[in-house]
A and B are shown apart, each in its own frame.
Chain A
Amino acid sequence: MNPPIHRNPITAVESPAVGVTIDGLTKNFGTFQALKNVSFTVEPGEIFVLMGPSGSGKSVLLKHIVGLEAATAGRVLINGQDATAEHTLERIRIALVFQAGALFNSLSVYDNLALYPREHRFGDEATIRDKVMRALQILSLENSARKFPSELSGGMRKRVAIARALVMEPQLMLYDEPTSELDPVMSATISEIIATLKDEYHVTTIVVSHDRELALGIADRVGILMGGELVFLGPPASLRQPADPLIADFFHPRIDLKNPRFKTLET
C-alpha cells in the first residue's frame, strides 16, 4: 500500500504523509523512570490517541517526538529520520500544542499566530492575515486578535495555542490535552478539526487526551500509558468493554462512597 499523500495547502507541494516510529523509548530523570521501553508506530495519516493517568509520561513522550528531550535509550524516528537531528525539524513541519499553551507572552494573539508564517515567509502580509484570521475564526477568537496572552482565560489560551498550530499547516500534529479546558461544544469542534485535517490533508495526528468522547469518536488507534509503560495498544472499539481491570477502572471509575479510594491508600 502506498502511503497517503500530504498536500501542503499553501504551496500545493505534495509529499508522503509522515509516519512516526517509537522504538524502545526509555527516559530517566535522575533515578526516576518516566518512560519504560515504549514502542509503537503511528502510521502516515493516522489519528493516534494517547491516554493514561496523570504523571504517566504522556507529555514527556510528546517532547521526545519533537526532539525537545533526548532519550536515555531507544529512539524516535519521523519518516525514518531521528527526531533529535536538527534537520528533521527543517524538513518536516511538526506542530505541538503544548499542554500549558506556551504562547509568546510579549506578542498579541494575532502576532502569536503570524510569527510562524512570517518567519518562514509564507507570503505577503495580506496572505498571512487571511490565514491567521481564518484560524482565529475557526476557534471563535476573532474578537481577541489584539489581546495579549495575559488577558485571556485558560480555555482561550488553549484555543490560541491550537490556532497557532493550525496556521503552521503541519504534516505532523501533536496535541497535548487540547480539550482539557474547553467547553463541550468547543471540544467537539476540536475533534472535528482533527478529523477534517486527517481526511483532507492526511495530517498525521497524535493526541494526548483524557477525553473519552474524542478518543472513541475519532481515533484510529489508542495507546494507554501507565507509569511510563505502554499497557494497551489497539482500536478504540476494544476500549468499550476493556478486559484489563486496570484499564476498565481508568475508563469507568466508579464513585464508591462506602469504600473511597483515598482511604485505601497506605499511610
Chain B
Amino acid sequence: MKQLTHFLEGFGSAVQLLFQSARFVGTLPRQRARFIDQCYLIGYTTLPIVAILCFFMGSVLALQSGYSMENFGAKQFIGSLVGLSFARELGPVIVAILVAGRVGSAITAELASMKVYQEVDALVTMNIPPARILVLPRLAAVLVMMPVLAIIGNLIGWFGGAVVCKYVESIAIEPEAYFSALRRYMKFKDVGTGLMKAEIFGFVVVLICCSIGLNTRGGPREIGASVTKAVVVSLISILVLDYFVTKALM
C-alpha cells in the first residue's frame, strides 16, 4: 500500500514537472547555450559506450543466429534478422538503457545535490523556476539526441553482425549478401518505429531522473539513494514501456 502511494506520488510529480517545463518552451531559444551543453553531455559522451555495446550486441546476435539458423539452412537470412532486431528493438532499448545509466544517473546526482545544498531553493527565491533552466534544456536535448544515438547504434550493430558473418568460418557470409538480406525485409516503418521508441524512452528517462533528483530531501546520503532509485525506476520504465509502445505501434 505504501509502495503504491510512493509510486503514485512519484508519477504525479513527474507529470507535474513535465507540465511546468512545457510552460517555458518559449524560452528555449534564449537558453541555447544550456541546450547545447546538454546535447553534448547526452549525445557525445554516451556515443563511445553506445558504439562498443551495439557492435558486440550485433556480433553476438549474428553469431547466435548463425548457429541456430544453420539447422534450417536459413543462414542467408541472418542479415534481416540482425537488421530487424536492431532497428525495431535492440537499438532503442540499448541506447535508452545506456542513457539511463550514463546520463540519467548524472542528472539525478547533479539535481539532487543542488536540492540538498539549497541551490534549488535559491533559484526559487530568485523567481527562476528550476523547471525552466534545469529541466527544459535537458528534455529538449534528449529529444534531439535520442534518434541520433539510436541511428548510430543501429548502424554499428548491423556492422558488428556483418563482421561476424564474414570472418566466422562456420557462417561465412559476404557483406554484400548480408546487407542485401538486411535491406530486403526492412521497411522504413521498422526504423521509424525504433526511433519513435528511442525518443519516448529517452524522454521518460530524463523526466524521471530530473523529477527524482529535484524531490530529494535530506543530506548527502539521500543523493546516493536518489541516484540508485532513478536508475532502477528508469530501467523498469523502459522495459514496461517497451511492451506497450511496441504493441501500440504494431
A and B assemble together: yes
Residues of A within 8 A of B (CB): 63, 66-68, 89-90, 93-96, 98, 100, 102-106, 115-116, 119-120, 168
Q: Please name the residue on chain B nearest to A91 by beta carbon.
A: B127
CB A91 to nearest CB in B, in angstroms, measures 9
Q: In the docked arrangement, what's the CA distance between A192 and B121, Å?
A: 27
- In the complex the two chains form, is A102's CB within 8 Å of B117's CB? yes
Q: Which residues of A contact B128 (CB under 8 A)?
A: 115-116, 119-120
Produce 1/0 per residue, B83-105, CB < 8 A to A: 00000000000000000000000
Q: Please name the residue on chain A nearest to B110 by beta carbon.
A: A106
Q: Which residues of B contact A104 (CB under 8 A)?
A: 114, 119, 122
A-B pairs with the 8 shortest C-beta distances? A102-B118, A102-B122, A89-B127, A66-B125, A119-B128, A96-B125, A116-B126, A68-B121
Could you say which of B125, B126, B133 has the most chain A C-beta atoms within 10 Å of its C-beta?
B125
| CB-contact partner of A119 in B110, B121, B133, under 8 A | B133
Q: In the docked arrangement, what's the CA distance between A95 and B123, Å?
A: 10
> With an 8 A cutoff between CB atoms, is B236 at the interface?
no
| CB-contact partner of B125 in A68, A105, A119, A120, under 8 A | A68
> With an 8 A cutoff between CB atoms, is B168 at the interface?
no
Q: Please name the residue on chain B nearest to A95 by beta carbon.
A: B125
Residues of B within 8 A of A (CB): 110, 113-114, 117-119, 121-122, 124-128, 133
Return 9 A-B CB contacts under 8 Å, by A number. A66-B124, A95-B125, A98-B122, A102-B117, A106-B110, A116-B126, A116-B128, A119-B126, A120-B128
CB B133 to nearest CB in A, in angstroms, measures 7
CB B245 to nearest CB in A, in angstroms, measures 34
Q: Which residues of A contact B122 (CB under 8 A)?
A: 96, 98, 102-104
Q: Which residues of B contact A105 (CB under 8 A)?
A: 113-114, 117, 119
Q: Please name the residue on chain B nearest to A68 by beta carbon.
A: B121
Q: Please name the residue on chain B nearest to A168 by beta carbon.
A: B126
Q: In the docked arrangement, what's the CA distance between A105 and B117, Å?
A: 9
CB A214 to nearest CB in B, in angstroms, measures 22
Q: Which residues of A contact B118 (CB under 8 A)?
A: 98, 100, 102
Known: A100-B118, A102-B117, A103-B119. A115 touches B126 (CB 8 A): yes
Other A-B contacts than A102-B121, A104-B122, A119-B133, 20 sampled, CB-CB below 8 A, are A63-B121, A67-B124, A67-B125, A68-B124, A89-B125, A94-B125, A95-B126, A100-B117, A100-B118, A102-B117, A102-B118, A102-B119, A103-B119, A105-B114, A105-B117, A105-B119, A115-B126, A119-B126, A119-B128, A120-B128
Could you say which of B114, B122, B124 has the most chain A C-beta atoms within 10 Å of its C-beta?
B122
Q: Which residues of A contact B114 (CB under 8 A)?
A: 104-105
Q: Which residues of A contact B121 (CB under 8 A)?
A: 63, 68, 98, 102
Q: Please name the residue on chain B nearest to A99 by beta carbon.
A: B118
Q: In the docked arrangement, what's the CA distance between A175 and B145, Å?
A: 43
Q: In the docked arrangement, what's the CA distance between A156 and B113, Å?
A: 21
Q: In the docked arrangement, what's the CA distance between A102 and B121, Å?
A: 8
Q: Please name the residue on chain B nearest to A101 by beta carbon.
A: B118
Q: In the docked arrangement, what's the CA distance between A68 and B121, Å?
A: 7
Q: In the docked arrangement, what's the CA distance between A95 and B126, Å?
A: 7
- In the complex the two chains form, is A120's CB within 8 Å of B124's CB? no
Q: In the docked arrangement, what's the CA distance between A228 and B81, Å?
A: 70
Q: Which residues of B contact A94 (CB under 8 A)?
A: 125
Q: Please name the residue on chain A nearest to B132 by beta carbon.
A: A119
Q: In the docked arrangement, what's the CA distance between A103 and B215, Å?
A: 19
Q: Please name the residue on chain A nearest to B122 by beta carbon.
A: A102
Q: Which residues of B contact A115 (CB under 8 A)?
A: 126, 128
Q: In the docked arrangement, what's the CA distance between A104 and B110, Å?
A: 11
CB B190 to nearest CB in A, in angstroms, measures 41
CB B124 to nearest CB in A, in angstroms, measures 7
Q: Which residues of B contact A106 (CB under 8 A)?
A: 110
CB A74 to nearest CB in B, in angstroms, measures 21
Q: In the docked arrangement, what's the CA distance between A119 and B133, Å?
A: 9
CB B121 to nearest CB in A, in angstroms, measures 5
Q: Which residues of B contact A66 (CB under 8 A)?
A: 124-125
Q: In the docked arrangement, what's the CA distance between A115 and B110, Å?
A: 18
| CB-contact partner of B127 in A68, A102, A103, A120, under 8 A | A120
